[in-house]
Amino acid sequence: GIRALLALQRDMQVVGKAVDGQEALQKTLELSPDVVLMDIVMPVMNGLEATKRIRSKWDNARVLMLSQYDDEENVLASTQAGAIGFVPKRSAGSELLDGIRSVSQGQRFVHHVAA
């Protein structure tokens, strides 16, 4: 999975994992990661709301949305929520790594499938 892919990268380290949007918000504020990898659909609080709250409390947060819902509406909603990147789950591989690296540098990244 994604954790295994990230574990193979020398320049990346997973510092936390959340099972829902509320936990993602709490862990992000607690751990201050370089990049927050967020899904749109999560229990308790969805990823869009969690991203908005993260960005309202931590303006420099770098959120990369990773979702199976990669239509134009969700890409736009992710950007409006404060995500600076979007990668479709079906493209999660080297594209995800490219997205994480771009977002970690503060650069916008939208995978061409989702653009």
Query: Are residues 26 and 19 in contact, defined by beta-carbon separation less than 8 angstroms?
Result: no
Displacement of CA 69 from its chain's centroid (Å): 13
Bridge partners of 110?
86
Which pLDDT value is given to residue 114?
54
Which pLDDT value is given to residue 47?
95
CATH code for position 24: 3.40.50.2300
Q: To which residue do tokens 């193979």 refer?
A: 8
Which pLDDT value is given to residue 115?
52
Per-residue pLDDT of the chain (115 residues; tens, 9 = 90+): 888 899 999 999 999 999 999 999 999 999 999 999 999 999 999 999 999 999 999 888 999 999 998 889 999 999 999 999 999 988 878 899 999 999 999 999 998 765 5
Which pLDDT value is given to residue 112?
72
Tell me the pTM. Answer: 0.91
Any domain includes 115? no
Tell me the residue range of the domain where 66 lies: 2-110
Among 23, 84, 95, CA closest to 59: 84
Which pLDDT value is given to residue 113?
65
Displacement of CA 17 from its chain's centroid (Å): 12
Q: Report the domain count for the chain.
A: 1
